Structure 1
Amino acid sequence: MQRALQQHSSAAPFRSHTTSKHQASHRIVVRCAAQAAATADKAKLFEELKESCAAFKKAPPSMKLEFSADILSALKDLQAAAALPKWGCESPEAQAGEEQQSFSGPTARRNVFMGELKQMGIKAPDQIATPSVRNDSAFLFTVVGVCSVAAVVLGQLPGDWGFFTSYLTGAIVLVVLAVGSTAPGLLQVFIDKFSQVFPDYRERVVAHEAAHLLVGYLMGVPVTSYSLGIGQEHVEFAEAKIQARIITRDLSDAEIDGLAVVAVAGVAAEGLKYDEVMGQTADLFDLQRILLRSKSKLSAVQQQNITRWAVWRAAALLKKYSAEHQAVQEALVRGDSVDQIVQAIEAVQTKQ
């Protein structure tokens, strides 16, 4: 009897050890299965985001807002699946916290002076809100110069050919001047094409657009599409964020703050690298439309202060997320889709 009890007691630890090993193995299998399922779910959600972006791209302009709701929903699903920790992480709402009614943290809207912009890294703060005419002037002088030379050369043709061809060539200059003074937007396509002769143009465009995408993403904006045109407006970002036409509703201070930072992100990106900002005209026009929808009426001085603060805030974000900004630029050069750009942002380890 005593021997049996000893055998039983000696076998009990062995069975206990074996059972614990089986339990540990089972937990590992369950954990691996859960991770595999989570990965599959995220892949499916990213595929839904890709399809939503493709549908948005094909949608007519009048339906863009409705299709952006699908992109917003896809991003929220991915965030709920813990796949997008950076989306909206820098928005005023996220910074304030769910229980607070207003944001009063260190990055809250405040008066920002030129010296602070300089300290933040903006090379020429005084050039902010001063439209650049470099590309326009170069295009105009080239048209005038080429047409003048061509008119002189063609004037040497015999007979009436010399008169008519030189006259028509000279008329081109008059047409360009007339269009440029009455509807300058019609010349923007030609100016953009011509501006590619400048060595820094492509680099500026990519950095500018990448800043809008990245800062919009950090502010919780549903990034719907992108265009590598330095004169393009981004009003669709604002409308996708508030899910309404910008002209149909008033905006709260938190909405104004977030959208203002997104609007001038391209200005900040150029200002951090160049003395002259080329693509700020469209950005400042977007900002003006946003400020005009503020619930509280803003004076000219207040609008100027918001502009400076928004540039300062955007520059701070671009410096903090410089690796992500570089990753987005590389993705734009490759021609990646929006879902691929989102994954590129999340794949970067943010510096503290």
Structure 2
Amino acid sequence: MALPAFSFATTADEVAEALASEIQGKNVLITGTSLNGIGFEAARVLARHANLVIITGHDADRLKLAEDAILRDVPSANIRPLLLDLSSLDAVRKAAGEVNVYPEPLDVLIHNAAAPHCAFKLTVDGLETQMATDHIGPFLLTKLLAPKLLASAAAAVAASVSPSFNFVPRVVFVSSQGHTYGTGVDLSALVRPNAEKYRSFDAYFQAKSANALSAIALSRRSGGRINAYSLHPGAIYTNMYTKKESLPDMQAFGGFRAGIQVLLAQLTRRAGILGPNGEPTDNFKWKTIPQGAATILVAAFDPRLNDKPGAYLVNCNEANEERAPHSSDPAVAEDLWRVTEEIIGEQFAF
């Protein structure tokens, strides 16, 4: 049966219904699943179809709230909470150790968690907080869980899981169109953070570039054994805007809500964001949370992406042409991979 076309308006529920046979029986780990976020919505919808959904968060109370909310909606869901602080390499190693002793293989790893825009701050490892949480921590987590991802394909073949027994494990990086407003990842600052040069929104743009580059490098290096994708979920009013760490930056634009509007106005002046009559294109209209979570599920399960590893998605469709050159160059992706390996002190081998 032919799959439907997905678009800007498609919701996560609609994607999951269309891809139910692909999701059935799968085990998924998704980071950043606090209430009122696209990670939570993706987890809630997946819980209706998947065998296991592992939800993560660094705050036990908020993680419990998310778990309870999903179980109220889907009482039969197999939800497993996992404490995970992506800003700490030791915490990432501890969480990965827990996952690696789970009896189930892992089919899909979704990197959705992100640090809020914040003033310059170093992590316990001496890394800049946004880059540590959005890129370095996820890189290490992927490295440590790669054997479990690779094992899922062998387990599926052995069990002759139908209809997609040849499903290639996937890793999904939630990037952002914001990556196009920066100049790419500053590798020297990644290794040696500089408070004087730090700008919170630029750090965000760099982190989202790193997400897109990671998908390219992981797909290439895995030799077809893991397919990775990055995506822009859309402009969505989520709990990210209400975190206290983000408020100073928003207030610097002249007030919280005014700050968001000023930021969006700046972004929409860039080429390609406005239509021929000055109207905002689909790329910069506000999305609902269910619409924002839809592209995550497409990246995680749509079989039409099987032969497109490393692709970048917008509005539930492949949109590599919307990925900036500094976030799509395979050579840059390799440089970032090498430097990140040096930072974590481990080589990512398959």
TM-score by length of 1: 0.25
Q: Comparing both structures, which one devotes a greater share of its residues to strand?
A: 2
Indicate the structure (1 or 2) with the bigger Cα radius of gyration.
1
TM-score when scaled to structure 2? 0.25
